[in-house]
Structure 1
Amino acid sequence: MESFVYTASPSRVIFGPGASSKLPEELCRQTLRAALILSTKHQTGEANRIRDLLASNAVGLFSEAAMHTPTEVTEKALAVAQSLKADSIVSIGGGSTIGLGKAISIRTGLPHICIPTTYAGSEMTPILGETADGLKTTRRDPKILPGTVIYDVNLTMTLPQGLSATSGINAIAHAVEALYAPDSNPIIKLLAKEGIRALAESLPIIVKDANDKDARSKALYGAWLCGVCLGSTAMSLHHKLCHAVGGSFDLPHSETHTILLPHTIAYNSSAVPGAMKDLASALPDSNSNAIIGLNSLLDKLGVEKALKKYGMKEDDVDKAAIIAMKNRYDNPREVELEKVQELIRRAWAGEPARTDL
């Protein structure tokens, strides 16, 4: 067997239907008594339920979390946390809210407890992406990793079917890159294949029946595993493009991942035959071809396939490629500007992914 290094993420996970009810017990275990609750404006209902659950142990609610974690929002939330003398952060929501919790925690040292309501996986990573002056930058630090994650499938039951689909593909993207990351290892590859398989099997069921609790639980489990993969390995071209395109042009996060993933896999496929075999084995209807399997899954989910549908302009394609070439991530295949421009153009136009770049 090959030599490898595996570093386990030191986070505590509480998983199960109704698991969010254990939050007061978790705060007590950590001797925390003044939690600031974070959410987006659209999730204040769930955040208020958490505040009621915590009663006097909740000192306030900040509901202005935004996509791509703008630093001006973080500064505003920091001021609220300091004025309320918060001793901890509880984030309930998806990547936007969890990102804000990470940004506050890394700046203050406050313990961060996450309650994810999507499949984004950010809660399992020591990675923080922030946007300032229209540019998204990413950093990695063990202190960014939330200390406790509470997975409550009941809180995902109302996640819209379309967002469930794209959020789940976003999670799959984390595991795909872990299959060929330069610091991958057999343990992470096992988690990646299991996470991809769980999501690929459950997402089509959720799209047909949003109330299928078993499928929701399986998707949440898969997202957890995929998040661990992202937090344990280096990111490659796919995540770099998503950060460049999404952060710079304010495109929705999970939708951007969903559209770009087939194209980035196609670009790298010739350089990582082993990873493509692993991916194909985890995808139904693949016929031993990872790209066929992924395209089949996307067709079942009925997701949008063109970045232009979310407001990206054709003039932005070249700009995005230039941004992506700066501070490049490790990638198994050489990244060339003209080829990346064409990759982004195909994703912008909604064309099928091809391996001819």
Structure 2
Amino acid sequence: MRFEHETLPQRVYFGSGGAADAVGAEAARLGAARVMVIASASGAGPAEKITARVPVVVRHDEAVTHVPVAAAERARAAATAHAVDLLVSVGGGAATGLAKAVALTTGIPIVAVPTTYAGSEATSVWGLTEGARKTTGSDPRVLPRAIVYDASLTLSLPVPMSVASGLNALAHCVDSFWAPRTDPVDRALAGEGIRALAAGLPAVVADPGGLDGREQVLYAAYLSALAFSSAGSGLHHRICHVLGGRYGLPHAQAHAVVLPYVLAFNAPAAPEAERGIAGAFGAASAVEGLRRLRSAVDAPVALRDHGFREADVEDAVPAVLEAVPAGNPRPVTAEDVRRMLRAAWQGADPLTAA
């Protein structure tokens, strides 16, 4: 066994009901005197409560999915105008992503408070969308200095969105088994993430107001992001970045729908990874384990339900081919992409598209 693995420097607070205390403690530890709070318009109220104990000089509630360049520029300008020395993001991937866009050009540290299972808070990956193209990269400046995980903040997340967001975390885990830089540590983190998601997501569906299931899913989201940040972006995520940036598809739902098609496509060419994924699910095969979980939580089924048109399939093929990562377990042709996207558009059996 021989590999190199980099562990990212980050403090993690995990505990239900303790977000405000943890954010206050971390702001004090960092010596923050001028804090900018970043949230979405719908998340501004909770964000105000969570940051009541820190010296806020500006509240910015323009976080939107896929981080348009124009939104990033407005947030950067606000941070500069108010001489901000700490960013606190409260919300899902949109809020974290906007904070990262500010940190990318300013170096201002971030404390992230996730309210979904997106996982962006635990990675050094940033993404910006301009026109119909989403650009991503990795930079240590965008890695939040600290994460505050408080499962009680996810209680307001509706069950369908909880399921989609949790399956997005699952996609991080699955991709990490064969992504370009994967190693045994990444696969161990991803396997534990799959196990926790397979237990936690059905519990969230069965008891939306309970914390046990949501804590399991939030824990898994963190593990999945650690694995993904180290292993890199695999075929699944490259496809979904095209779908999100080019067609404006909702991030979590796109990941939830596309995952079974990429898994069915890659698994036969990666038997060791397939066995690891299957074992984490406690299933006879990886595809069967994912099918069983999706059935239990009533997962999103078809891209056509989320804004992707049949006419978009052909347009997307060359963009996806251009984004295919080196070292994918199986060569990817235009016909492969076309078949997967068409099947995902209509919600067909993934095995028929593999």
Task: Spell out the pairing of 1:96-135 with structure 2 (5 A cutoff).
Answer: 96-135=94-133
Give the superposition deviation at 1:18: 2.4
Q: 1:60 aligns with which of 58, 61, 74?
A: 58
Partner Cα distance (1:98, 1:150) in 2: 12
| Matched length | 352
Partner Cα distance (1:162, 1:347) in 2: 18
Task: Spell out the pairing of 1:1-357 with structure 2 (5 A cutoff).
Answer: 2-20=1-19, 21-54=21-54, 57-284=55-282, 286=283, 288-330=284-326, 331-354=328-351, 357=354
Report the AA paired with residue 49 of structure 1: K
Deviates further, 177-186 or 265-274: 177-186
Partner Cα distance (1:320, 1:293) in 2: 29
Query: Does the Cα contact within 8 Å between 1:259 and 1:307 map onto a contact in 2?
Result: yes
What TM-score comes out, normalization by structure 1 length?
0.96
Give the superposition deviation at 1:356: 5.5
Secondary structure in 2 matching 1:60: strand
What TM-score comes out, normalization by structure 2 length?
0.97
Q: Deviations over 1:55-79 (max 9, x none)?
A: xx11111111011011110111111
Query: Does the Cα contact within 8 Å between 1:196 and 1:222 map onto a contact in 2?
Result: yes
Structure 1 gaps of 5+ residues are: none
Secondary structure in 1 matching 2:351: coil
Query: Does the Cα contact within 8 Å between 1:127 and 1:145 map onto a contact in 2?
Result: yes
Give the superposition deviation at 1:303: 1.9
Partner Cα distance (1:31, 1:48) in 2: 20
Q: Deviations over 1:99-147 (max 9, x none)?
A: 0011100110101110001111111111111100111111112222111
Query: Does the Cα contact within 8 Å between 2:39 and 2:47 map onto a contact in 1?
Result: yes
Give the superposition deviation at 1:166: 0.8
Distance change >3 Å, CA 356–CA 100, structure 1 → 2:
closer
Q: Deviations over 1:311-340 (max 9, x none)?
A: 211110111121111243232211111110
Give the superposition deviation at 1:181: 2.3
Partner Cα distance (1:302, 1:266) in 2: 19
Structure 2 gaps of 5+ residues are: none
Give the superposition deviation at 1:270: 1.5
Secondary structure in 1 matching 2:12: strand
Secondary structure in 2 matching 1:297: helix
Distance change >3 Å, CA 182–CA 323, structure 1 → 2:
closer
Partner Cα distance (1:223, 1:230) in 2: 10
Query: Does the Cα contact within 8 Å between 2:340 and 2:353 map onto a contact in 1?
Result: no
Give the superposition deviation at 1:48: 1.5
Q: Deviations over 1:283-308 (max 9, x none)?
A: 14x2x111111011111111221101
Secondary structure in 2 matching 1:205: helix
Partner Cα distance (1:302, 1:126) in 2: 32
Secondary structure in 2 matching 1:218: helix
Query: Does the Cα contact within 8 Å between 1:47 and 1:61 map onto a contact in 2?
Result: no
Secondary structure in 2 matching 1:128: strand
Secondary structure in 2 matching 1:348: helix
Secondary structure in 1 matching 2:325: coil
Query: Does the Cα contact within 8 Å between 1:175 and 1:195 map onto a contact in 2?
Result: yes
Secondary structure in 2 matching 1:10: coil
Q: Deviations over 1:266-287 (max 9, x none)?
A: 1111211111111111114x2x
Secondary structure in 2 matching 1:42: coil
Secondary structure in 2 matching 1:329: coil
Give % identity.
37
Secondary structure in 1 matching 2:52: helix
Partner Cα distance (1:356, 1:218) in 2: 32
Distance change >3 Å, CA 110–CA 53, structure 1 → 2:
same
Secondary structure in 1 matching 2:53: helix
Query: Does the Cα contact within 8 Å between 1:128 and 1:139 map onto a contact in 2?
Result: yes
Partner Cα distance (1:136, 1:153) in 2: 30
Partner Cα distance (2:92, 2:202) in 1: 20
Secondary structure in 2 matching 1:85: coil
Partner Cα distance (2:203, 2:319) in 1: 37
